[in-house]
Amino acid sequence: MKVFDDKHIKNIVLVGGAKSGKTSLAETMLYEASLITRRGTIENKNTVSDFHEIEHERGISVYATPLHTEWRNYKINIIDTPGLDDFVGEIVSSVRVADTCVMLINAQHGVEVGTELVWNHVDKYRKPTIFAINQLDHPQADFDTSLQSIREHFGNNAVLMQYPVNPGNGFNCIIDLLKMIMYKFPEEGGKPEKLAIPESEHARADQLHNELVEKAAENDEQLMELYFETGNLNEDQMRKGLKLGMMNHEIFPVFCLSGLQNMGSGRLMGFIDNVAPCYSEMPAEQSEEGKDVNGKKDDSAIMFVFRTDYEPSLGKISFFKVLSGTVSKGLHVKNSHSHQVEIINQLFVMDGKNRNPVDQLVAGDIGATLKLKNTDTNDTLHALPEDITIKPINFPKARMRTAIEAVDKNDDERLGEALRKMHEQDQTLNYHFSSELKQLIVDCQGELHLATIKWTLEHVYNLEVQFVEPRIPYRETIQRSASTVYRHKKQSGGSGQFGEVHIKIEPYFEGKEDPQGFNIRGVELIELEWGGHLQFINCITGGSIDARFIPSVLKGVMQKMEEGPLTSSHVRDVRVILYDGKMHAVDSNDMAFQIAGAMAFKAAFHEAQPKLLEPIYKVDILVPEDHSGDVMTDLQSRRGIILGIESKGKYSQIMARVPLHNLYKYSTALRSMTHGKASHAREFADYAAVPQNIQDEIVAKHAQKEAH
């Protein structure tokens, strides 16, 4: 494979909503560079990037796929990403390592919810961005409306580089406003004729060209002075201004094309070559140690692993970006996270499932290696004397929660190992065994994401699994004070057990005043693992209970708080006052006072007006305005409280608080009621009291279950 220096390597990521044509464009870019001899199609299941069996079954991209093409002495690394936000982890990691984002817009629909969601990540990283209005050959293509939607959502910094003369049926002509020529494509696409701009288009082209010149000049004082002096800029001067604007996130060039018909892709690649910044021109990467990584090829090697994959025939594949220096086969590097030394035995440039062996990769390039034992996604590998850790990718939080079980209980261990590997591959898939709920909980992005997880477990790992409704981690507390006396006495020959405790319990909150009427000997404030507090106050005087048994009483109380009296849920925010008791010189022991403490707490708890608390989540929903009424009505039916609503162009952002119990399968319901045009994010807010009628139902169901 040809060796490229760091100035001639460009890294782009293709992003956009579902069906915007990313995979077809990637295929065309490889074909245009003669890296493939025929273009595959999604329908024929033979594209380079969508090569996984599940992608063939569903007809959509599920994984981000690194590719590369070569165009006019430049290497363009391409990452083709999924269009559905269920697979947002694939998108985020790809945006993180790209130097330029190419955002595809479906000319039939303009900016969609998926586009908006992707933009949030692009904007967060301040990545240079190109908009490409695609599928202009479609009968319902509407270029002007699509452009308007881009500007409505992303501002007037979206500047036209081209516009189509005849979008829709028969589309074959594009006017380029940088070069001021018209490209006319043959019926089968490919290399266009370069023609003079027709007389009928002169006025429009001149006006748009002047707007482009002015926009390019705004980003550099010298260019602005030159523009004021001459009223124009030449091509090279415009390219300079456009690059600066892109790097400052203040210019978003807009191209037009038909990726499927191979019309406009060559011009887009030429612009990426000549204008889009290379890695060394971008702002320095930041390390957690506060160091800048400037991408110099002569420095020591630094690699950032942005993706991990598992292939049955290859094992573990680590995809990385070279942030500094040169990576060669045989290089020894240290993992700054695991502190283990890894050896780069093999180096590849990946094109889908195809491996292209290379001897070295320089700063700014993207590659892959096999079988790194102690390295995962987000790890930094380096050849420096001191550790350096590149700031990690922040993956989005889960939006769906379910429990998973192996149909064959003998497969539980294999299921855990499979989920571990799948989490390495997809950091938005999280799992943990909840000892509280006694369930294996999976957190993911949505119903489609969950279906993909199930498919992978069954087809790749040969595990039959089922998803079940997850239990809710309720909390129990009290609303008033109560006192009780409990005596534990057991005599069965020989040494017996005896312990008597007098306790008072009451609600606790931080800053609460000390209780009155007690001789306080000691106060212990315990921050509970499951949230909230226990304040334990020792008021024993006169030796009624020996000091060595006080911790036993506390231990018994804690045991009962781990499985509360109402529903066996954790108890929180309680004050326990131990103010009296009795013991026996022979029969009192640690166990006796543990039992006495636990049973006294249980008895007092039932008398203290117990209350069940439920987890409440803050939910943000992005939905088209015409569906916002349906969404709000549905939220209210889920006991949700609407906190506010904001306008986001053609969309509404609805903010609400909803009980976790009522969010089960909410992704599915939201997709159904909005025809897949809405998305949501959720995060834990706090615990709130369950309404009394619902509490009574929950407690009754629990009692019935315990009886059986």
Give the number of other CB atoms < 10 A from CB of residue 507.
Answer: 16
Q: Tens of pLDDT along 181-194?
A: 999 999 989 999 99
In a domain, 243, yes or no: no
* Same domain membership, residue 502 and residue 447: no
In a domain, 617, yes or no: yes
The CATH number covering residue 599 comes to: 3.30.230.10
Contact indicator for 363, 56 with CB cutoff of 8 Å: no
In a domain, 700, yes or no: no
DSSP SS3 for 694: helix
Sign of the dihedral through C-alpha 83, 88, 92, 94? negative
pLDDT band at residue 219, thresholds of 50, 70 and 90? confident
The CATH number covering residue 433 comes to: 3.30.70.870
Q: Report CA-CA distances (Å) from 85 to 19, 104, 496, 699.
A: 13, 15, 64, 38
Contact indicator for 256, 264 with CB cutoff of 8 Å: yes
In a domain, 219, yes or no: no
pLDDT band at residue 302, thresholds of 50, 70 and 90? very high
In a domain, 331, yes or no: yes
The CATH number covering residue 683 comes to: 3.30.70.240
In a domain, 392, yes or no: no
Q: Tens of pLDDT along 655-707?
A: 999 999 999 999 989 989 998 888 899 999 999 999 999 999 999 999 988 88
The CATH number covering residue 349 comes to: 2.40.30.10
92-101, 251-260, 309-318, 525-534: which range is least confident on average?
Answer: 309-318
Per-residue pLDDT, 57? 92
Q: Which strand (E) or helix (H) includes residue 628?
A: helix 628-637
How many angstroms separate the CA atoms of 250 and 36, rounded?
Answer: 36
DSSP secondary structure string for all residues of 168-189 = STT--EEEETTTTEEEE--TT-
Domain boundary (608, 628, 654) is at 608
Structural tokens at position 133: 């209005």
Structural tokens at position 51: 């090569």
How many angstroms separate the CA atoms of 184 and 194, rounded?
Answer: 7
Q: Tens of pLDDT along 330-360?
A: 999 999 999 999 999 999 999 999 999 999 9
| Pick from 445, 487, 322: nearest CA to 62 | 445
Per-residue pLDDT, 94? 97
* Same domain membership, residue 147 and residue 23: yes
How many angstroms separate the CA atoms of 45 and 54, rounded?
Answer: 11
Structural tokens at position 464: 């039959």
How many angstroms separate the CA atoms of 233 and 215, rounded?
Answer: 11
Domain boundary (417, 442, 468) is at 468
* Same domain membership, residue 174 and residue 26: yes
pLDDT band at residue 294, thresholds of 50, 70 and 90? confident
CA angle 441, 446, 450 (to 5 degrees): 60
Share of the chain residues as helix, strand and coil, in percent rounded to the nearest 5: 30, 30, 35
Per-residue pLDDT, 495? 73
* Same domain membership, residue 264 and residue 129: yes
DSSP SS3 for 514: coil
DSSP-derived secondary structure letter, 148: H
Sign of the dihedral through C-alpha 256, 261, 264, 267? positive
Contact indicator for 337, 377 with CB cutoff of 8 Å: no
Question: How long is the chain?
Answer: 708
DSSP SS3 for 233: coil
In a domain, 491, yes or no: yes
The residues, any chain, with a CB within 8 Å of residue 300's CB and separated by 6 or more, are 324, 325, 382, 383, 384
Instruction: Tell how strand 475-478 and strand 570-571 pair up.
Output: parallel
Indicate the number of domains in the chain.
5
Q: Looking at residues 599-606, what average pLDDT do you find?
A: 97
* Same domain membership, residue 162 and residue 78: yes
CA angle 504, 510, 513 (to 5 degrees): 55
pLDDT at 143 over 70: yes
Q: Looking at residues 121-142, what average pLDDT do you find?
A: 94
pTM, to two decimals:
0.88
Structural tokens at position 263: 């019309």
* Same domain membership, residue 436 and residue 292: no
Amino acid at 465: V
What are residue 326's DSSP bridge partners?
362
How many angstroms separate the CA atoms of 533 and 685, rounded?
Answer: 18
Most confident of 101-110, 296-305, 484-493: 101-110
How many angstroms separate the CA atoms of 97 and 93, rounded?
Answer: 7
Structural tokens at position 334: 């240290």
Per-residue pLDDT, 493? 64
| Pick from 703, 684, 686, 685: nearest CA to 695 | 703
Q: Looking at residues 118-133, what average pLDDT do you find?
A: 91
- Classify burial at 591, counting beta carbons within 10 Å of its beta carbon; exposed 0-12, middle 13-18, buried 19 or more: middle
pLDDT band at residue 494, thresholds of 50, 70 and 90? low
Instruction: Tell how strand 574-582 and strand 533-538 pair up.
Output: parallel
Q: Tens of pLDDT along 383-421?
A: 988 899 999 999 999 999 999 999 999 999 999 999 999
Whole-number average pLDDT of the chain: 94
| Pick from 608, 604, 560, 582: nearest CA to 488 | 582
Instruction: Tell how strand 100-106 and strand 9-16 pair up.
Output: parallel
Cα 200 → chain centroid: 48
Q: Looking at residues 409-438, what average pLDDT do you find?
A: 95
pLDDT band at residue 5, thresholds of 50, 70 and 90? confident
Domain boundary (580, 608, 636) is at 608
Extended strands (E) in 461-573: 465-468, 475-478, 482-490, 497-507, 522-527, 533-538, 570-571
How many angstroms separate the CA atoms of 364 and 299, rounded?
Answer: 13
Q: Report CA-CA distances (Å) from 322 to 88, 301, 348, 360, 462.
A: 23, 7, 13, 10, 36
Most confident of 83-87, 122-126, 297-301, 534-538: 534-538
* 685 φ/ψ sector (left φ>0, alpha ψ -120 to 50, else beta): alpha
160-174, 630-644, 673-687: which range is least confident on average?
Answer: 673-687
* Same domain membership, residue 418 and residue 327: no
Rg (C-alpha) for the chain, rounded Å, is 32
| Pick from 389, 605, 344, 366: nearest CA to 484 | 605
Structural tokens at position 98: 């790209």
* Same domain membership, residue 257 and residue 145: yes
Query: What spatial distance separates the first Cα and last Cα of the chain, rounded to whole Å?
Result: 69
How many angstroms separate the CA atoms of 149 and 110, rounded?
Answer: 6
Which residue is listed with tokens 């004050």? 575
DSSP SS3 for 521: coil
DSSP-derived secondary structure letter, 657: E
Per-residue pLDDT, 676? 82
| Pick from 150, 146, 143: nearest CA to 173 | 143
DSSP SS3 for 512: coil
* Same domain membership, residue 458 and residue 350: no
Contact indicator for 320, 303 with CB cutoff of 8 Å: yes
* Same domain membership, residue 30 and residue 122: yes
Structural tokens at position 553: 């009483």
DSSP SS3 for 386: coil
- Classify burial at 235, counting beta carbons within 10 Å of its beta carbon; exposed 0-12, middle 13-18, buried 19 or more: exposed
Contact indicator for 172, 187 with CB cutoff of 8 Å: yes
In a domain, 705, yes or no: no
Q: Tens of pLDDT along 372-382?
A: 999 999 999 99
* Same domain membership, residue 437 and residue 323: no
* Same domain membership, residue 590 and residue 519: yes
| Residue numbers of the domain that contains 433 | 400-468
The residues, any chain, with a CB within 8 Å of residue 207's CB and separated by 6 or more, are none
